[in-house]
Amino acid sequence: MSRLGFSGRLNAGRASNGVLPGADPVPEDGSMPQPPNTERPHLDGAARLLRPAAPGSSDTGAVSVTMAYIGMIVVLMVAVLIGGGNVFAARARGYDVAAEAARAGAQQIDLAAYRSHGTLLLNPGAAQQAARRYLASAGATGTVTVTGATVQVTATSTQRTPMLSAFGKSSIQVTSTASASPTTGGTP
């Protein structure tokens, strides 16, 4: 016996009884070994789906109907997600319009009051006009209130929601409120 544990010559992967490893040995009585069991219960679900249906089987086309339902559900979920995203974007845009209109109004400082007293006050007429002009240019309507040094704008706009039209919502009305006050810059 050699140091590696084999004796004699190698039998090309055969065991000492002449049978390949993993193969069923020939029974002592000389009969042929039986083929492996073709019924594979451990592959019951997956194998059944991959095998063609037997003639006269009642589940022919069941996968197609299931896939059609799943496809419709996925399309509806995508439509709702995109529509919901459009609603959030419309609200953000509505707030941006109100804030920009308020800032446009807050730039209309009463220069005479600032130069004589150093107090930041707004010119109410000019502030309202500037804020309304910005709202109109953005395609929105709303109210503008000027109190002392603060401009408050409530903007209302209509945003289209094409993905929600299947649910009866082709557009939504967004109302947002923002305010702004003038500030002086720091020293350089």
The structural domain count of the chain equals: 1
pTM: 0.58
Instruction: Give residue 112's Cα distance to chain centre.
Output: 53
Q: Is 119 part of any domain? A: yes
Q: Examine residue 154 and state whether it is found in any structural domain, yes or no.
A: yes
Question: Is the residue at 13 inside a domain?
Answer: no
Residue 4 lies inside a defined structural domain of this protein: no
Question: Quick check: 128 and 150 in contact, CB under 8 A?
Answer: no
Contacts of 155 (CB under 8 A, 6+ apart): 94, 97, 98, 101, 135, 138, 140, 141, 142, 175, 176, 177, 178
Question: Which range marks the domain in which residue 124 is found?
Answer: 66-180
Does a structural domain hold residue 59? Answer: no
Does residue 57 lie in a domain region? Answer: no
Domain-located, residue 81? yes
Sign of CA dihedral 37, 39, 43, 48: positive
Is the four-CA dihedral 163, 165, 168, 170 of positive or negative sign?
Answer: positive
Residue 105 lies in a domain: yes
pLDDT tens track for 115-165? 888 888 889 999 999 999 999 999 899 999 999 889 999 999 888 877 777
Write the pLDDT tens digit of every residue in 31-89: 666 655 555 555 555 555 566 656 666 666 677 888 899 999 998 888 888 888 888 88
